[in-house]
Structure 1
C-alpha cells in the first residue's frame, strides 16, 4: 500500500473542508443528494452524466469515509444499495448554498451554459 513520504498536516481549517467536499464530483454528488434525498448507484451515475464508474466509486467511498453520505444496503436479491446525506453532510448544505449564490454572481454564461440546479433553488425561494 502507498505510504506518503511527508506526513499530511492541515494548517488551516478551510483545507479540511475543501479536502472533504472539494472537487468537481463530490460537490455534484452532494447537490444531487440534496435535490433527490436518496439515490441508488445507477441513479447517481445517470444524474452525473459524464462520470466513470471508477471515479464515482472513489468519490462515494471518500464521502462515506468522511461521514458526508450514508450507504444503506438492503438484503434483497438483487442487493439494493441507497445513498443519502448524513447529518454531517446536511450541515454543509448551507455553506454550499452560499457558494452557489456567490458563483451565480460571477460565473459567465459561456462557462456555465446550463444551470442544472436552478429548478431546485427556484422551488426553495
Structure 2
C-alpha cells in the first residue's frame, strides 16, 4: 500500500469523509458490498469490472483500516475469505445514495455503459 511522505492534514469532518469514501474505487466497492452483502474476493472483483488485483487489494486494505469493510477469513481448505460492510460502512451508504441523486440531476451518462451497480441505483427517480 502506498505510504504518504507527509502526515495527513485533515482539518474538518468533510475532508475526513472524502478521504474515507472518496476516490474512484472506494465508493464503488461500498456500493457493491451494500447491494450484495458478503462477497468473496473473486466475486467482488468480478462485480467491480475493470479493477486490477493490486488496486482492489490496496483499496480493501484502506477501507478495512478505516473501519468501513470487514474481512472474514475461514480456516478451510481451500482458504476462504469474505468481505462485508461494517456498521460504520453501512452508515455511509445513504450518504453515497444522496450524492448519486444530486449527481444524477446534473450529470447524464450513457446508461448503456453504466456500471452494473449504478443501473440498480434509483438516483434518477425523483
Query: TM-score normalised to the size of structure 1?
Result: 0.86
Show the counterpart of 1:92.
Answer: 92
Q: Are the equivalent residues in 1 in contact too, given 2:111–2:119 (CA < 8 A)?
A: no
Alignment of 1:46 with 2:52, yes or no, is no
Residue 106 of structure 2 is matched in structure 1 by 106
Partner of 1:76: 76
Which position in structure 2 is the counterpart of 1:13? 13
Q: Secondary structure at the match of 2:31?
A: helix
- The answer for unaligned runs of 5 or more in structure 2 is none
In structure 2, the CA distance between the partners of 1:112 and 1:19, relative to structure 1 (3 Å rule), is farther
Count of paired positions: 121
SS in 2 for 1:76: coil
Contiguous gaps of at least 5 residues in structure 1: none
CA-to-aligned-CA distance 1:71-96 (integer Å, 9 cap, x gap): 00011001100000000001111111
Over aligned residue pairs, what C-alpha RMSD do you find? 2.2
Q: Distance in 2 between matches of 1:2 and 1:30?
A: 23
Name segments (4+ residues, structure 1) moved above 6 Å.
Answer: none
Residue in structure 2 matched with residue 119 of structure 1 by the alignment = 120
